[in-house]
Amino acid sequence: MKTTIRILLMPVLALSASIAVSVSAGAQSDPLPSWNDGANKQAIVSFVEAVTSQDGPDFVTPGDRVATFDNDGTLWVEHPMYTQLAFALDRVKALAPQHPEWKTTHPFQSVLEGDMEALGKSGMKGLMEIIGATHAGMNTAEFEKITSDWISTAKHPKFDKLYTSLVYQPMLELMDYLRANGFKTYIVSGGGIEFMRPWTEKIYGIPPEQVVGSSIVTEYKVIDGIPSLMRTPKIAFLDDKEGKPVGILTHIGKRPIAAFGNSDGDYQMLQWTTAGPGKRLGMFVHHDDANREYAYDRETHIGTLNKGLDDALKEGRHIISMKNDWKQIFPE
């Protein structure tokens, strides 16, 4: 009887196994499931296949497969303000009881009163004052704890979710795909290097040593017999625009063969990357999806994309449409 049942079930089991293998193969065949089929997805796949085909003319050794990613607006949401700026404004409010003079001193008064228009008028000078007051005067370990505590609880004003939940699923897949094919992925951002390093490995799979960013002057001091690295309010390096290729050379030591950004602040990084010899890939994320995220490019206070749009076609770079190229924006 058992033998008969087994014989009767064999075709069913074989069919089930066949379906399972087929589904598994299908899932594995698409490394970018959150991307719609189209020219940009194909460009990514073709590029990776070309530089990893050992017998092909465009083969690149694994040690030279370097890919760089901007952070704000490329890997996660940057509107209505940069996440690090939101952190700085929250720090002003948290520190205000220790600084009663801030109630009548701009730009701090603007922050405490929620007057973003007045804060904007304070310009770079006002921003640097805020950064100096909220990011300096402590050692690096203290700053890392403050940053880690904030990022684990702070929520975006529009989506009411943790900022670390508002990363772009298609870009997470892209980084995983590149790493699976021997690439080393780096963040190259205008954001503060020590603001990003405490959480990038958990969120993006990018360890601290592969993060390049802006920095303030840090000094070695021995305080009460304990060696410390103390943060000062002076800017050491601004990793934006022309600074990005310089930051890449300083921290990485190699020109990338692939670079991804979303604004004209990333233009020079993509320009320098795609000007190198051999197969190259440069892509801008275009924020054109007002329903699922935001729509902005030329006329915006954050993430302006003018030159990148104008030069993409003639320079052989790609414009990724969030609306048309991505099936979903954020992880489920």
pLDDT in tens, 99-109: 999 999 999 99
Mean confidence (pLDDT) of the chain: 92
Does residue 330 belong to any structural domain of this protein? no
Instruction: Read off the pLDDT of each residue in 148-152 and give the average, rounded to a whole number.
Output: 97
Query: Pick the residue with more confidence: 27 or 33?
Result: 33
Residue 172 lies in a domain: yes
Q: What is the pLDDT of residue 28?
A: 57
**pLDDT-derived band at 198, boundaries 50, 70, 90:** very high
- Residue 304 forms part of a structural domain: yes
Residue 253 lies in a domain: yes
Q: Mean pLDDT throughout 157-185?
A: 98
Share of the chain above pLDDT 90, in %: 86
| 211 assigned to some structural domain | yes
SS3 sequence of the chain = CHHHHHHHHHHHHHHHHHHHHHHHHHHHHCCCCCECCCHHHHHHHHHHHHHHCCCCCCCCCHHHCEEEECCECCCECCCCCCHHHHHHHHHHHHHHHHCHHHHHCCCHHHHHHCCHHHHHHCHHHHHHHHHHHHHCCCEHHHHHHHHHHHHCCCECCCCCCEHHHCECHHHHHHHHHHHHCCCEEEEEEEEEHHHHCCCHHHHHCCCHHHEEEEEEEEEEEEECCEEEEEEEEEEEECCCCCHHHHHHHHHCCCCCCEEEECCHHHHHHHHHHHCCCCCCEEEEEECECCCCCCECCCCCCCCCCCHHHHHHHHHCCEEEEHHHHECCCCCC
Q: How many domains does the chain have?
A: 1
**pLDDT reported for residue 286:** 98
Q: Per the domain annotation, does 99 fall within a domain?
A: no
Find out whether 95 and 215 touch, Cβ atoms under 8 Å.
Answer: no
- Which domain range does residue 219 map to? 35-80+166-325
What are the strands of the beta sheet with 281-286, ordered from one edge?
226-237, 211-223, 184-192, 66-69, 258-261, 281-286, 318-321
**Domain containing residue 220: CATH number:** 3.40.50.1000
| 244 within domain boundaries | yes
pTM: 0.90
Looking at the predicted structure, is the pLDDT value of residue 149 above 50? Answer: yes
